[in-house]
Structure 1
Amino acid sequence: MKNHNLEFECTGLEHGGRFPVENTGRGEDISPEFVIKNLSAHAVTLMITLEDLSHPIKDFTHWVIWNIPAADKIGKAIPAGRTIPSLQGAVQGIGYGFHRYAGPKPPKGKKHQYRFTVYALDCRLDLKASSFKRKVLRKARTHIIQQGSICGYFE
């Protein structure tokens, strides 16, 4: 049951393709919609990270959100905030956006690679919103039953 590949679509972003402007810091800077294809019946919550793979700081975190109720779809434009009432108290931790989605915005003239990773967990995580990605992943490690990634670029 552990670590089976999670298949998902990120609306407007093909794997290896260019980020839609609306999902970047040069556009509306809103999170995209996620459509989960093969979610395990054992999944209780979902967690999402967005990382800049080209940043000088290895896998620089743009966004980390956890305790999203397990579902086949996560709507776009998740609002800013430590906890998200519309997602049954999902928690946004510390990333580039400080408790919110912060889309790609590399320096002008530079092309950066980004990666969304969606994790399916068998529980809720009891962590404060002041947590960074590293702490969240450490706490989640033994509870991840599926994960998958989509990469894209923006310049």
Structure 2
Amino acid sequence: MMFRRSAARVAVESRKARFMRSLASAAIAAALLSPGLAAAQQPTAVIPKQTIYPGETIEASMLEVVDVTNPDITDGYVGSLEEVEGKVTKRTLLPGRVILTSALRDRYAVERGSTVRLIFNKGGLTITAAGSPLEDAAIGELIRARNIDSGVIVSGTVMADGTIHVVAK
């Protein structure tokens, strides 16, 4: 036994087919006419051109920006050169592998054993002295330092100019 399609059903199916064809052609035209939009959505990653060892300062000439083609890649990798330049590596970076943000750190503003200026401010009183940091630290970190003249160990915040602002107890 065979059934015939009704004329109304055939008309609805043909309208659906025409709509789908026009939708597909519009999508193809949009993709062809705007390649800049498709490229802007493509994520990028920064990879080393050479092996970079721990403690080295990263420069732009050591790196290459590539498009990410693996949709399953985890987050936490560096996407632009601005995020990396001037940073120091914590571990070995291999050529062709993405650079994880956890593998980088800021440069140290003060290094252990060097001579720095200790500054203490309280109201209108300012005291400065020569000191020696007891650990490496970046800008904004709280560290301990030894006053060279008295031998007293104080805590302070590392500033951008390389001085340590002593905190009051």
TM-score between the two structures when normalised by the length of structure 1 = 0.19
* Greater helix share, structure number: 2
* Greater strand share, structure number: 1
Q: Which has the larger radius of gyration?
A: 2
